[in-house]
């Protein structure tokens, strides 16, 4: 060993320190990258939560609207049934509906039997 040259005992700890320093720097870089990725994922998660919440609100509003529409239709149908029942129960309606068999349009008119015609004339 010459004067000025470090001996092995001094270079070994120095090399280990240098390796640890490189490892720490690599770990810091990896931690920084992981933190950036985590921040990005948190932002995306918040965005997805807002989208889900908006979608559920819109779905709920749609079902509420459909329920209101069906309720209105049921009420209108009930009103129509009541109006039809009132019309059917009125004496004018009964007279208007009544027709003799020979006056009905869905059947062909039938003449009276011959023996009835002779008695009438």
In a domain, 113, yes or no: yes
The tally of domains found in the chain comes to 1
Q: How many helices (H) and strands (E) does the chain have?
A: 3, 0
Calculate Rg over the CA atoms of the chain: 49
Secondary structure element (H or E) that encloses residue 115, with its range: helix 114-120
Q: Which domain holds residue 98?
A: 9-120
Secondary structure element (H or E) that encloses residue 22, with its range: helix 8-89
In a domain, 54, yes or no: yes
Q: Which residue has the tokens 């709920």?
A: 60
- At 106 the three-state DSSP class reads coil
Reported as a single tens digit per residue, the pLDDT across 48-100 is 999 999 999 999 999 999 999 999 999 999 999 998 888 777 676 666 666 65
Count CB-CB contacts under 10 A for residue 66: 10
Task: Give which of 110, 105, 82 is closest to 97, Cα–Cα.
Answer: 105
In a domain, 4, yes or no: no
Per cent of the chain over pLDDT 90 is: 50
| CA 82 remoteness from chain centre | 35
**Residue, of 114 and 7, whose pLDDT is higher:** 114
CB 7 within 8 A of CB 1: yes
Q: What is this structure's pTM?
A: 0.47
In a domain, 3, yes or no: no
Count CB-CB contacts under 10 A for residue 7: 8
Which pLDDT score, from 0 to 100, does residue 1 have?
A: 47
């Amino acid at each position: 060993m010459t004067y000025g040259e470090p001996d092995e005992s001094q270079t070994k700890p120095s090399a280990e320190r240098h390796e640890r320093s490189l490892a720490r720097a690599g770990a810091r870089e990896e931690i920084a990258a992981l933190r950036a990725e985590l921040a990005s994922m948190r932002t995306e998660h918040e965005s997805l939560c807002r989208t889900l919440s908006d979608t559920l609100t819109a779905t709920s509003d749609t079902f509420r609207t459909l329920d209101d529409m069906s309720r209105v239709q049921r009420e209108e149908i009930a009103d129509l049934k009541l109006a039809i029942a009132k019309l059917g129960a009125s004496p004018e309606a009964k007279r208007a509906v009544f027709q003799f068999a020979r006056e009905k349009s869905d059947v062909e008119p039938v003449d009276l039997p011959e023996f009835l015609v002779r008695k009438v004339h």
